[in-house]
Amino acid sequence: MLAGELIQSPLLLILLLVVAFLYASVGHGGASGYLALMSLFAFPITFMKPTALVLNILVSGISFYFYYREKKFDGTLFYPFAITSVPFSFLGGSITIETHVYKIILATVLLFAVARLLGLFGKQKAAINPINLPLALFIGAVIGFLSGLIGIGGGIILSPVILLLGWADIKKSAAVSALFILVNSISGLFGFISKGGTLPNASVSLITVALMGGILGGYFGSKKMNNALLKKVLALVLLIAIFKLYTT
Protein backbone atom coordinates (compact mmCIF):
# COMPACT_ATOMS: atom_id res chain seq x y z
CA MET A 1 0.00 0.00 0.00
CA LEU A 2 1.27 3.49 -0.87
CA ALA A 3 2.07 6.04 1.86
CA GLY A 4 -0.68 8.35 0.61
CA GLU A 5 -3.27 5.58 1.11
CA LEU A 6 -1.91 4.64 4.53
CA ILE A 7 -2.34 8.21 5.75
CA GLN A 8 -6.11 7.99 5.23
CA SER A 9 -6.39 5.55 8.16
CA PRO A 10 -8.48 7.18 10.94
CA LEU A 11 -6.69 5.08 13.57
CA LEU A 12 -3.30 6.39 12.44
CA LEU A 13 -4.46 10.01 12.62
CA ILE A 14 -6.02 9.56 16.07
CA LEU A 15 -2.89 7.91 17.45
CA LEU A 16 -0.74 10.61 15.87
CA LEU A 17 -2.79 13.32 17.59
CA VAL A 18 -2.35 11.56 20.96
CA VAL A 19 1.40 11.09 20.41
CA ALA A 20 1.95 14.74 19.44
CA PHE A 21 -0.11 15.93 22.43
CA LEU A 22 1.70 13.76 24.95
CA TYR A 23 5.22 14.43 23.70
CA ALA A 24 4.67 18.18 23.41
CA SER A 25 3.29 18.20 26.96
CA VAL A 26 6.68 17.03 28.27
CA GLY A 27 8.81 19.16 25.93
CA HIS A 28 9.52 16.53 23.29
CA GLY A 29 8.99 16.62 19.53
CA GLY A 30 7.67 13.06 19.43
CA ALA A 31 9.78 11.57 16.64
CA SER A 32 10.18 8.24 18.45
CA GLY A 33 6.38 8.03 18.69
CA TYR A 34 5.85 9.09 15.06
CA LEU A 35 8.41 6.57 13.84
CA ALA A 36 6.79 3.85 15.93
CA LEU A 37 3.38 4.59 14.40
CA MET A 38 4.74 4.72 10.87
CA SER A 39 6.52 1.42 11.36
CA LEU A 40 3.29 -0.16 12.68
CA PHE A 41 1.48 0.99 9.55
CA ALA A 42 4.34 -0.27 7.34
CA PHE A 43 5.47 3.06 5.90
CA PRO A 44 8.68 2.86 3.85
CA ILE A 45 11.88 3.99 5.59
CA THR A 46 12.40 6.69 2.93
CA PHE A 47 9.11 8.25 4.08
CA MET A 48 9.63 7.79 7.82
CA LYS A 49 12.89 9.64 8.45
CA PRO A 50 12.19 13.02 6.76
CA THR A 51 8.56 13.05 7.88
CA ALA A 52 9.49 12.42 11.51
CA LEU A 53 12.08 15.21 11.39
CA VAL A 54 9.58 17.73 10.01
CA LEU A 55 6.95 16.73 12.56
CA ASN A 56 9.60 17.07 15.25
CA ILE A 57 10.52 20.58 14.13
CA LEU A 58 6.94 21.77 14.29
CA VAL A 59 5.87 20.10 17.55
CA SER A 60 9.07 20.81 19.48
CA GLY A 61 9.00 24.42 18.30
CA ILE A 62 5.46 24.83 19.64
CA SER A 63 6.36 23.09 22.88
CA PHE A 64 9.43 25.28 23.38
CA TYR A 65 7.37 28.43 22.84
CA PHE A 66 5.01 27.54 25.69
CA TYR A 67 7.79 26.51 28.06
CA TYR A 68 9.79 29.64 27.22
CA ARG A 69 6.73 31.80 27.83
CA GLU A 70 6.42 30.21 31.27
CA LYS A 71 10.09 31.16 31.91
CA LYS A 72 11.26 27.55 32.24
CA PHE A 73 14.16 27.76 29.74
CA ASP A 74 17.78 27.88 30.92
CA GLY A 75 20.14 28.85 28.10
CA THR A 76 23.28 28.00 30.07
CA LEU A 77 22.08 24.38 30.25
CA PHE A 78 21.13 24.23 26.57
CA TYR A 79 24.21 25.58 24.79
CA PRO A 80 26.79 22.93 25.83
CA PHE A 81 24.63 20.17 24.33
CA ALA A 82 23.74 22.13 21.19
CA ILE A 83 27.34 23.10 20.31
CA THR A 84 28.23 19.50 19.48
CA SER A 85 24.82 18.04 18.70
CA VAL A 86 24.00 20.29 15.72
CA PRO A 87 27.01 19.38 13.52
CA PHE A 88 26.79 15.71 14.49
CA SER A 89 23.07 15.67 13.74
CA PHE A 90 23.81 17.04 10.26
CA LEU A 91 26.39 14.28 9.80
CA GLY A 92 23.95 11.60 10.92
CA GLY A 93 21.22 12.98 8.69
CA SER A 94 23.48 12.74 5.65
CA ILE A 95 24.07 9.01 6.20
CA THR A 96 21.73 6.37 4.78
CA ILE A 97 21.83 2.97 6.48
CA GLU A 98 20.34 -0.37 5.48
CA THR A 99 16.71 -0.99 6.41
CA HIS A 100 17.33 -3.84 8.87
CA VAL A 101 20.05 -1.85 10.67
CA TYR A 102 17.73 1.17 10.84
CA LYS A 103 14.99 -0.96 12.38
CA ILE A 104 17.30 -2.39 15.05
CA ILE A 105 18.59 1.05 16.06
CA LEU A 106 15.08 2.50 16.09
CA ALA A 107 13.69 -0.38 18.16
CA THR A 108 16.51 0.08 20.70
CA VAL A 109 15.77 3.81 21.01
CA LEU A 110 12.07 3.02 21.43
CA LEU A 111 12.92 0.73 24.36
CA PHE A 112 14.59 3.73 25.95
CA ALA A 113 11.44 5.77 25.29
CA VAL A 114 9.19 3.12 26.88
CA ALA A 115 11.34 3.00 30.01
CA ARG A 116 11.14 6.79 30.24
CA LEU A 117 7.36 6.81 29.80
CA LEU A 118 6.91 4.19 32.52
CA GLY A 119 9.08 6.17 34.92
CA LEU A 120 11.81 3.53 35.19
CA PHE A 121 14.54 6.18 35.15
CA GLY A 122 15.05 9.89 34.73
CA LYS A 123 13.37 11.06 37.91
CA GLN A 124 14.14 14.48 39.33
CA LYS A 125 16.95 14.66 41.90
CA ALA A 126 16.45 16.39 45.22
CA ALA A 127 19.42 18.73 44.61
CA ILE A 128 20.47 20.47 41.39
CA ASN A 129 24.14 20.01 40.44
CA PRO A 130 26.28 22.31 38.25
CA ILE A 131 26.64 21.07 34.68
CA ASN A 132 29.84 19.20 33.71
CA LEU A 133 30.87 20.92 30.47
CA PRO A 134 33.08 18.20 28.88
CA LEU A 135 30.49 15.53 29.65
CA ALA A 136 27.66 17.70 28.27
CA LEU A 137 29.61 18.27 25.04
CA PHE A 138 30.18 14.53 24.64
CA ILE A 139 26.53 13.70 25.37
CA GLY A 140 25.41 16.31 22.85
CA ALA A 141 27.61 14.82 20.11
CA VAL A 142 26.42 11.24 20.68
CA ILE A 143 22.72 12.11 20.86
CA GLY A 144 23.04 14.50 17.92
CA PHE A 145 24.55 11.87 15.64
CA LEU A 146 21.93 9.29 16.60
CA SER A 147 19.19 11.88 16.10
CA GLY A 148 20.17 12.66 12.53
CA LEU A 149 20.85 9.02 11.68
CA ILE A 150 17.35 7.69 12.42
CA GLY A 151 15.25 10.86 12.31
CA ILE A 152 14.61 11.77 15.95
CA GLY A 153 15.41 14.95 17.86
CA GLY A 154 17.09 13.27 20.82
CA GLY A 155 14.98 14.78 23.57
CA ILE A 156 13.66 11.40 24.67
CA ILE A 157 17.29 10.58 25.58
CA LEU A 158 18.54 13.99 26.70
CA SER A 159 15.74 14.78 29.14
CA PRO A 160 16.21 11.72 31.40
CA VAL A 161 20.01 12.12 31.21
CA ILE A 162 19.71 15.69 32.52
CA LEU A 163 17.45 14.49 35.34
CA LEU A 164 19.65 11.52 36.21
CA LEU A 165 22.70 13.76 36.47
CA GLY A 166 20.75 16.28 38.54
CA TRP A 167 21.45 19.22 36.21
CA ALA A 168 17.88 20.59 36.17
CA ASP A 169 14.34 20.01 37.39
CA ILE A 170 11.61 18.43 35.26
CA LYS A 171 10.24 21.65 33.75
CA LYS A 172 13.65 23.09 32.86
CA SER A 173 14.81 19.80 31.36
CA ALA A 174 11.64 19.73 29.24
CA ALA A 175 12.26 23.27 27.99
CA VAL A 176 15.91 22.54 27.15
CA SER A 177 14.93 19.27 25.44
CA ALA A 178 12.32 21.04 23.31
CA LEU A 179 14.85 23.48 21.83
CA PHE A 180 17.47 20.73 21.59
CA ILE A 181 15.04 18.66 19.51
CA LEU A 182 14.20 21.65 17.33
CA VAL A 183 17.78 22.52 16.37
CA ASN A 184 18.83 18.87 15.94
CA SER A 185 15.84 18.08 13.75
CA ILE A 186 16.53 21.09 11.53
CA SER A 187 20.18 20.10 11.25
CA GLY A 188 19.34 16.44 10.58
CA LEU A 189 16.80 17.41 7.91
CA PHE A 190 19.36 19.62 6.15
CA GLY A 191 21.82 16.74 6.27
CA PHE A 192 19.20 14.47 4.71
CA ILE A 193 18.41 17.01 1.97
CA SER A 194 22.12 17.62 1.28
CA LYS A 195 22.34 14.03 0.03
CA GLY A 196 19.41 14.42 -2.35
CA GLY A 197 16.61 13.46 0.03
CA THR A 198 13.16 15.03 -0.33
CA LEU A 199 10.10 15.44 1.88
CA PRO A 200 7.18 13.26 0.67
CA ASN A 201 4.12 15.30 -0.39
CA ALA A 202 1.84 12.78 1.33
CA SER A 203 3.11 13.85 4.74
CA VAL A 204 1.06 17.08 4.73
CA SER A 205 -1.92 15.39 6.42
CA LEU A 206 0.29 14.04 9.20
CA ILE A 207 1.83 17.48 9.72
CA THR A 208 -1.61 19.09 10.16
CA VAL A 209 -2.71 16.56 12.79
CA ALA A 210 0.62 16.73 14.65
CA LEU A 211 0.36 20.53 14.78
CA MET A 212 -3.02 20.29 16.49
CA GLY A 213 -1.72 17.83 19.08
CA GLY A 214 1.47 19.83 19.58
CA ILE A 215 -0.35 23.09 20.29
CA LEU A 216 -2.66 21.48 22.84
CA GLY A 217 0.11 19.46 24.48
CA GLY A 218 2.51 22.38 24.68
CA TYR A 219 -0.12 24.60 26.28
CA PHE A 220 -1.29 22.15 28.93
CA GLY A 221 2.11 20.56 29.56
CA SER A 222 3.82 23.88 30.30
CA LYS A 223 1.31 24.35 33.11
CA LYS A 224 -0.01 21.42 35.19
CA MET A 225 -1.42 18.23 33.77
CA ASN A 226 -1.62 14.60 34.87
CA ASN A 227 -1.11 12.44 31.77
CA ALA A 228 -0.33 9.10 33.44
CA LEU A 229 -2.97 7.20 31.44
CA LEU A 230 -1.79 8.64 28.11
CA LYS A 231 1.76 7.62 28.95
CA LYS A 232 0.68 4.01 29.52
CA VAL A 233 -1.26 3.95 26.25
CA LEU A 234 1.70 5.35 24.35
CA ALA A 235 4.08 2.90 26.04
CA LEU A 236 1.87 0.04 24.81
CA VAL A 237 1.91 1.41 21.25
CA LEU A 238 5.69 1.70 21.36
CA LEU A 239 6.08 -1.87 22.68
CA ILE A 240 3.99 -3.20 19.79
CA ALA A 241 6.11 -1.23 17.34
CA ILE A 242 9.31 -2.52 18.96
CA PHE A 243 8.12 -6.12 18.57
CA LYS A 244 7.31 -5.53 14.91
CA LEU A 245 10.66 -3.84 14.22
CA TYR A 246 12.64 -6.67 15.83
CA THR A 247 10.67 -9.42 14.07
CA THR A 248 10.35 -8.09 10.49
Per the prediction, the chain carries an average pLDDT of: 82
| pLDDT for the residue numbered 2 | 45
Whether the per-residue pLDDT at 67 is higher than 90: the answer is no
How far is it, in rounded angstroms, from Cα 92 to Cα 90?
5
- The residue among 222, 231, 121 whose CA lies nearest residue 172 is 222
Span 95-137, pLDDT tens digits: 888 888 888 888 888 887 788 777 776 566 667 888 999 999 9
How far is it, in rounded angstroms, from Cα 208 to Cα 213?
9
Give the predicted TM-score (pTM) of the model: 0.80
41, part of any domain: yes
Boundaries of domain holding 31: 8-247
2, part of any domain: no
Q: What is the mean pLDDT of residues 192-204?
A: 80
1, part of any domain: no
Span 144-169, pLDDT tens digits: 999 889 888 888 888 888 888 889 88
Whether the per-residue pLDDT at 212 is higher than 70: the answer is yes
Return the higher-pLDDT residue of 67 and 223.
Answer: 67
Q: What is the mean pLDDT of residues 37-63?
A: 84
Per the structure, the count of domains in the chain is: 1
| pLDDT for the residue numbered 172 | 85
